[in-house]
């Protein structure tokens, strides 16, 4: 285990930890270039495998779309953090990108990913947010309520207005290249972008092995992609896991807040 003690404490107590400089500059440049190319190529269809969201552009099913995405989900240093939240048995749930439109004044409602609440075995959703741009207070950073993963409640059930500023919320800012590990039961959402520039992040979202994937990877990865995967990737994507097929193939794709 290489995770420093203070990060373990922060993740346990606050529900998130930011890792500045996690991406090497060359990796960040490659990732940005790939994401830009895909947004350009997919145009109005971008994100349609998942959900399209007013005020932001999305990309979905990224594991299928370039080698760099397969590299990032298997990053062992990152997976150590994910296992701190979910335990040893994990799988990828989905891999998306989200670009917030300039001057988009709306915030996302506070939510937990997949509207998930911890169960008797504990936490089952963990997101990692890869900053491709600097996140500033004004350009649509992540907002979250530290410690809310302990509440056992969904914001929509207990807040009069999940879009309103929460008295305890913090904005998670950082330089491009930062990765934020988020216990995704923590109440969170994207904030408003009041600047002239877009803000982009990739979300590598993981789940505990006994829960559904957000995007059933086996259904969405092309056969030629599946054939070329290493055994470690096949395992992380749960491609040879009949329990995962039962859990994930029939569920509607579940966002924490989008219909």
Ligand X SMILES: O=C(O)CCC(=O)C(=O)O
Site residues, ligand X (CB under 6 A): 98, 108, 142, 188-190, 201, 256
| Closer CB to ligand X, 31 or 201, in the complex | 201
| Closer CB to ligand X, 65 or 109, in the complex | 109
From the CB of 148, what's the least distance to ligand X, in Å?
Answer: 13
From the CB of 151, what's the least distance to ligand X, in Å?
Answer: 17
Residue 244: C-alpha distances to residues 20, 144, 208, 210 (Å): 33, 30, 11, 7
From the CB of 1, what's the least distance to ligand X, in Å?
Answer: 28
| Closer CB to ligand X, 164 or 228, in the complex | 164
Cα separation of 127 and 106, whole Å? Answer: 22
Q: H/E element holding 40?
A: helix 25-42
Q: 65-83: buried (b, 16+ CB within 10 Å) or exposed (e) per residue? A: bbeebbebbbbeebbebbb
Cα separation of 212 and 88, whole Å? Answer: 16
DSSP structural state of residue 224: H
| Closer CB to ligand X, 188 or 216, in the complex | 188
**Contact in structure between 111 and 190 (CB atoms under 8 Å):** no
| Closer CB to ligand X, 98 or 185, in the complex | 98
| Closer CB to ligand X, 189 or 212, in the complex | 189
| Closer CB to ligand X, 91 or 98, in the complex | 98
Instruction: State the angle between helix axes of 5-14 and 76-86 in degrees (0 to 180), rounded to the nearest 10.
Output: 40
Q: Using CB atoms within 10 A of its CB, is residue 151 exposed (0-12), middle (13-18) or buried (19+)?
A: middle
From the CB of 83, what's the least distance to ligand X, in Å?
Answer: 21
**Contact in structure between 94 and 50 (CB atoms under 8 Å):** yes
Measured from each CB, the residue nearest to ligand X is 190
From the CB of 222, what's the least distance to ligand X, in Å?
Answer: 25
Beta-bridge partner residues of 139: 193
Q: H/E element holding 188?
A: strand 188-190
From the CB of 98, what's the least distance to ligand X, in Å?
Answer: 4
From the CB of 108, what's the least distance to ligand X, in Å?
Answer: 6
């Amino acid at each position: 285990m290489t995770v420093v003690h203070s990060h373990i404490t922060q993740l346990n107590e606050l529900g998130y930890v930011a890792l500045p400089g996690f991406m090497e500059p060359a990796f960040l440049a490659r990732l940005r270039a790939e994401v830009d190319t895909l947004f350009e190529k997919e145009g109005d269809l971008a994100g349609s495998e998942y959900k399209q969201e007013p005020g932001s552009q999305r990309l979905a099913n990224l594991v299928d779309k370039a080698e760099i995405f397969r590299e990032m989900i298997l990053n062992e240093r990152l997976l150590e953090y994910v296992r701190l939240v979910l335990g040893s048995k994990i799988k990828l749930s989905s891999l998306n990108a989200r670009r917030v439109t300039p001057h988009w004044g709306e915030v996302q409602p506070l939510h937990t990913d997949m509207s998930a609440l911890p169960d008797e075995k504990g936490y089952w959703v963990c997101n990692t947010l890869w900053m491709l741009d600097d996140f500033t207070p004004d350009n649509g950073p992540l907002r979250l309520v530290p410690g809310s993963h302990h509440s056992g409640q969904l914001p929509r059930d207990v807040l009069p207005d999940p879009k309103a500023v929460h008295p305890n919320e913090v904005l998670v800012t950082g330089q491009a290249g930062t990765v934020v590990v988020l216990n995704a039961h923590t109440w969170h959402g994207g904030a408003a972008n009041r600047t002239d520039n877009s803000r982009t992040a990739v979300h590598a979202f993981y789940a505990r092995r006994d829960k559904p994937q957000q995007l059933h990877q086996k259904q969405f990865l092309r056969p030629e992609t599946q054939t070329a995967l290493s055994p470690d990737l096949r395992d992380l994507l749960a491609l040879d896991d009949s329990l995962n097929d039962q859990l994930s193939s029939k569920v509607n794709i579940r966002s924490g807040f989008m219909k």
